[in-house]
Structures are given as structure tokens and as C-alpha cells.
Amino acid sequence: MIDIHNHLLPGIDDGPRDMDGTLAMARVAVDEGITRMVCTPHLLPGAVPEPARIAALVDETRAALAEADIPLRIDTGAEIALDVAFALDDAALRAYSLAGNGTWLLLEMPFEGWPLGLPAFLGDLEMRGFRAVLAHPERARSVQLQPDRVRDLVGRGALCQVTAEAFTGAFGKIVAQTARGLMGNGLAHVLASDAHSATRRPPGLRAALDECAGRAGVEPETLRWMVTDGPRAILDGGDVRPPRLGVPPPRERVAPPRPAKGGPKPGRPPRPGRPPRPRQTSR
Ligand SMILES: [Fe+2]
């Protein structure tokens, strides 16, 4: 499985403080069946680490993983707050793209308030050759209140990354309901951990996959696109065409029984307890 959103790198944001914490997270991830993680430290107004610093930390972490014999591939990336993304030029956005592919960006949905500039910004990004994955829309208050707003963003080419623990209830009932609603309406495309430590928000995807599958009444294998081929296609930097995930198949239509010859015409049966209306006769 591939995790495109997490805070694995040491000492750069609110993820692990040191390399020991990073390695502990990596071990949990590998035990979970994760083989590749894109490191996405926060880019927040006033706290924007240089791409070179992220790249150096990824190199350092790769060396530590190899030394500790932990089979985990890691790449550069960033979780970009919208206010930061609005101000970055093309070269900077490319440097912060997922796995350095130069195309796909992970944009953080704000927790409060609907980002009025986002729909136009998605169009602007497309004109500039970028595409966006929206991080955890289910945790945005505006989406919780009006989930249909996400349709417009997806219609403009964005993909939605839902956080695994949202489905297991770790963020509360409203977030869980919103995540399930996005999933049921085909508006959740990728599952990621958004992990911050080995214990507090650990890097796991399996429980969420099982939870989603159980609710949708399908095998977890059906939803694996969200943690395998989907993330891989994003990291490859090309077009991504998500299958219709999470939407139950249309109900089989059953033809009503044919009435017997000379019997009453098909239609709604009279309500119980109410006599059928007398037929109107012509004058
Ligand atoms: Fe995050």
C-alpha cells in the first residue's frame, strides 16, 4: 500500500521530534502493509520549510531506514495550506509536488470556513499544469455542513484524500459521517494516514479499508485502488481516472406482476383501512 499523506520526517513539523520517532512510525507502517510513503510536512503561513530542507531530511531518513533494515520507500512532498499555495510560483509548487513529479500537489482543506478562492484556484492550477489532491475534506467544517460543495471541486479536477482514521471514528461522529458520505457519493478517491507518530495517529490504512468495505458491503479488495493503484497513478504524475468507488450498484428493477385478465388495473393498492374510491360514472 502507498500512503501519500503523513508527517514521517523528524523535527520539521508536529510529527516525530527525532529519527527514533520516525523509525518507530516506519516500523508500524511496514507492519500495516505500507511499502511506500510520501513525506508531506506542513507548509503553513509563517512556517514554510525550504524544499532543500525536506529533500535533505528525506535523504537522511532513507539512510536511517536502510541502516535499521526497514523496507520502506519514501519520497518528498508537502501538505500545502491554501494561503501558502496561493502565493507560491510554479517553480516552488513543482518543488513541493508529491514525489517531486511536478504535477500533483497536496492542498490542505482549511478546518474552518469555506475557501472562496479555491474553485478558481483549481482552474488556475490546471492552466499552469498542476493538479490537486485535497487533504481531508471530511474534517473541514464547511464540508461537514454542506458535503455537496465538494462536487464542484471534484468537477474541477481535484481528487479527495480522506484520512483513514476518519472512518474508524477517531475524529468523532461528524467527521466519520462526512467521510462515509463522501465515500458513498464517490467523492473519496484516496485513503491516507496523515500519521503524526507511532502511537498518536499511527500510519495505518487497513482498519479504515475494512471499515469502508464493511459498510459498503463489498470486499476490502474492491477498495484497494484507494491505497494502491490510485496513489501510484498520482505519484506517476499523469492523468488519474478513479473508478466509481463506494457507490452501491443500482438496484435491480423487478417488474411488477401482471394482473390477471379482467382483474383490476395495476397501480397503487388502496391504503389499508380505507375503502377504494367509487368509480366516477359518465353522465
Ligand atoms: Fe497532515
Which class for 148: exposed (0-12), middle (13-18), buried (19 or more C-beta within 10 A)?
exposed
Give, for 191, the enclosing helix (H) or strand (E).
strand 190-192
- Tell me the three state secondary structure of residue 134: strand
What b/e readout covers 199-225, taking b as 16+ CB neighbours within 10 angstroms? eebbbbbbebbebbbeebeeebebbbb
Average pLDDT, the chain: 89
Give, for 54, the enclosing helix (H) or strand (E).
helix 51-67
> Ligand 1 centroid vs 187 CA: distance in angstroms?
19
> Ligand 1 centroid vs 194 CA: distance in angstroms?
5
Residue with cell string 516552488: 92
How many CA within 13 A on the CB side of residue 91? 2
Torsion 263-267-271-274 (CA) sign: negative
* Least confidently predicted of 42-51, 137-146, 274-283: 274-283
**Distances 66 to 4, 11, 36, 59 between C-alpha atoms, Å:** 20, 19, 14, 11
> Ligand 1 centroid vs 69 CA: distance in angstroms?
26
> What's the mean pLDDT in 57-61?
98
The pLDDT > 70 percentage for the chain reads 86
> Ligand 1 centroid vs 17 CA: distance in angstroms?
16
Tens of pLDDT, residue by residue over 129-185, are 999 999 999 999 999 999 999 999 999 999 999 999 998 889 999 999 999 999 888
Tens of pLDDT, residue by residue over 6-33, are 999 999 999 999 999 999 999 999 999 9
pLDDT of the residue at 217: 73
> Ligand 1 centroid vs 283 CA: distance in angstroms?
76
* Least confidently predicted of 158-162, 174-178, 260-264, 273-277: 273-277
**Which residues, listed in sequence order, are joined to residue 42 by a DSSP beta bridge?**
79
pLDDT of the residue at 90: 98
How many CA within 13 A on the CB side of residue 1? 27
> Ligand 1 centroid vs 38 CA: distance in angstroms?
11
pLDDT surpassing 50 at residue 250: no
Cα 191 from Cα 5, distance rounded (Å): 9
> Ligand 1 centroid vs 119 CA: distance in angstroms?
21
Which class for 185: exposed (0-12), middle (13-18), buried (19 or more C-beta within 10 A)?
middle
pLDDT of the residue at 106: 98
pLDDT surpassing 70 at residue 228: yes
> Ligand 1 centroid vs 42 CA: distance in angstroms?
7
> Ligand 1 centroid vs 260 CA: distance in angstroms?
64
Whether 213 and 219 have beta carbons less than 8 Å apart is answered as yes
Phi (first) and psi of residue 191, to 5 degrees: -100, 135
Residue with cell string 484556484: 121
Cα 81 from Cα 85, distance rounded (Å): 6
Tens of pLDDT, residue by residue over 98-125, are 999 999 999 999 999 999 999 999 999 9
> Ligand 1 centroid vs 6 CA: distance in angstroms?
6
> Ligand 1 centroid vs 13 CA: distance in angstroms?
10
First to last CA, the chain: 76
pLDDT of the residue at 209: 87
Pairwise pLDDT comparison (169 vs 128), residue with the higher score: 128
